[in-house]
Amino acid sequence: MKEDALKAERGEVTKQYVTCQNNRIKGLLYEYFGDRDIKEIDYALMDDFRTELFRRGLSNSTVKLHFSTLSKVLNYAQRYKLLDIPPVKPTIKQEDNARGFFNIREYLALRRASHRLLGTSHGISQKDDGKKAAGQPLRRVIVTEEIMYAIPFMVYSFIRPTDLKTMKHKHIEIRSGARGDYLYMPIPETKKHDKPITSLPRAAYYYRRLRDYQEKRGLADDDHFLFVPDMENRTYAYRYLTRQFDVLLEAIAGQLTGDGDKTLYSLRHTSIMFRLIYGGEINLLTLARNARTSVAMIERFYASRLQGSMMVNELHAKK
């Protein structure tokens, strides 16, 4: 844990990563292995641990995370000669949990809701997290123009939701193309991807509207953040947007399909899916590079819900 804390100070890992690792170590790992000598931990004991985690109802991905942290502990012990060879670990099948995307009807409903509810105040209640009872009032959220612009901006720019809290106006350059203006965006690195993103033309329109809105507030200088620039705590600024988005989701809940859970991240899935379904022919590698991901990730997650019925014209096309 101290080693991770030092890495965070050097900027090698995030503070959030360290917190998650510490919580797993001090939680279930210490509960199960805390009274064991490190050399006692073998395949059989870890297999029992895996069974216990599943018995408690943890998902495959959560179980894998616990075993990843356990591996770090064992490897640390080996480096400091407390353990000769780390034991073989049981395998945990990885189940892909691709988020849903918004189809055209749902996307339009979301956009209309952002306009209809602009300026309205809504109560946010505690969700059942296993520790606190659901339904307890937490705070009130006001739907702002920023979420109204953030939704189409994300869909036309391929960005990740977390980019909303780091993007500044100095990261945006409006360029002219054959199909109109578009955005060239050398935004901060995310998930070890640092190549600039090129938006679709429509993103330039919503960026201009967003900047006009921020200029009226005196918050549109190059070093100002695009979204919620008046909040210095960027983690809280991101939550401020996600809570507004949750309000909109609740407002259109009856119009959503059961095709995967819908979250703010679904807008990124929507961006890639719309380009695949409605855009012209494009090299998948080009799309992946521009969206700061890989072809494998697009095929495994983003396009996992792509069906032939969504692309009838392309399937029936002739040379």
Assess whether 168 and 32 both reside in one domain.
no
Full DSSP string of 118-144:
TT-EEEEE----SSS-TT-EEEEEE--
What pLDDT score does 137 carry? Answer: 64
Q: Is residue 97 part of a domain?
A: no
**Residue 199 and residue 274: Cα distance in Å, rounded?**
13
Q: Is residue 207 part of a domain?
A: yes
Q: Is residue 209 part of a domain?
A: yes
Assess whether 243 and 299 both reside in one domain.
yes
Assess whether 165 and 131 both reside in one domain.
yes
Query: How many angstroms separate the most distant Cα atoms in the chain?
Result: 69
Assess whether 120 and 263 both reside in one domain.
yes
Assess whether 274 and 139 both reside in one domain.
yes
Neighbours of 96 (CB within 10 A): 9
**Residue 208 and residue 182: Cα distance in Å, rounded?**
11
Taking Cα atoms as reference points, which of 202, 210, 211, 226 lies closest to residue 279? 202
What pLDDT score does 107 carry? Answer: 96
**Residue 158 and residue 293: Cα distance in Å, rounded?**
10
**Dihedral sign of CA atoms 229, 5, 52, 64 in order:** positive
What pLDDT score does 257 carry? Answer: 83
What pLDDT score does 176 carry? Answer: 95
Assess whether 22 and 127 both reside in one domain.
no
Taking Cα atoms as reference points, which of 153, 161, 169, 151 lies closest to residue 225? 169
Are 159 and 197 in contact, with CB atoms under 8 Å apart?
yes
Q: Which residues are paired to 138 by β-bridges?
A: none
What pLDDT score does 100 carry? Answer: 81
Strand segments, DSSP code E, in 78-125 are 121-125
Assess whether 34 and 144 both reside in one domain.
no
287: DSSP letter: H
Q: Is residue 64 part of a domain?
A: yes
Assess whether 312 and 223 both reside in one domain.
yes
Assess whether 140 and 264 both reside in one domain.
yes
Q: Is residue 93 part of a domain?
A: no
Assess whether 10 and 60 both reside in one domain.
yes
> Which CATH number covers residue 230?
1.10.443.10
Q: Is residue 28 part of a domain?
A: yes
Buried b (16+ CB within 10 A) or exposed e, 53-84: beeeebeeebbbbbbebbeebbeebeeeeebe
Assess whether 167 and 277 both reside in one domain.
yes
Last residue of a domain, one of 64, 79, 94: 79
Q: Is residue 61 part of a domain?
A: yes
What pLDDT score does 127 carry? Answer: 62
Strands 173-177 and 137-142: unpaired
Q: What is the pLDDT along the chain (319 residues), one digit of tens a residue?
A: 999 999 888 888 888 889 999 999 999 999 999 999 999 999 999 999 999 998 888 888 889 999 999 999 999 999 999 998 888 888 887 655 566 889 999 999 999 999 999 999 998 775 655 555 556 667 789 999 999 999 999 999 999 999 999 999 999 999 999 989 999 999 988 767 778 999 999 999 999 999 999 999 999 999 999 999 999 999 999 999 999 999 999 999 999 886 667 899 999 999 998 998 888 888 888 888 998 888 887 777 666 655 555 544 554 455 5
Number of folded domains in the chain?
2
What pLDDT score does 311 carry? Answer: 47
Are 59 and 261 in contact, with CB atoms under 8 Å apart?
no
Question: Which residue's structure tokens are 């770090």?
Answer: 72
Assess whether 67 and 211 both reside in one domain.
no
Give the pTM: 0.70
Range of the domain at 255: 104-316
**Residue 288 and residue 276: Cα distance in Å, rounded?**
11
Q: Is residue 194 part of a domain?
A: yes
Phi, psi of 20 (to 5 degrees): -65, -45
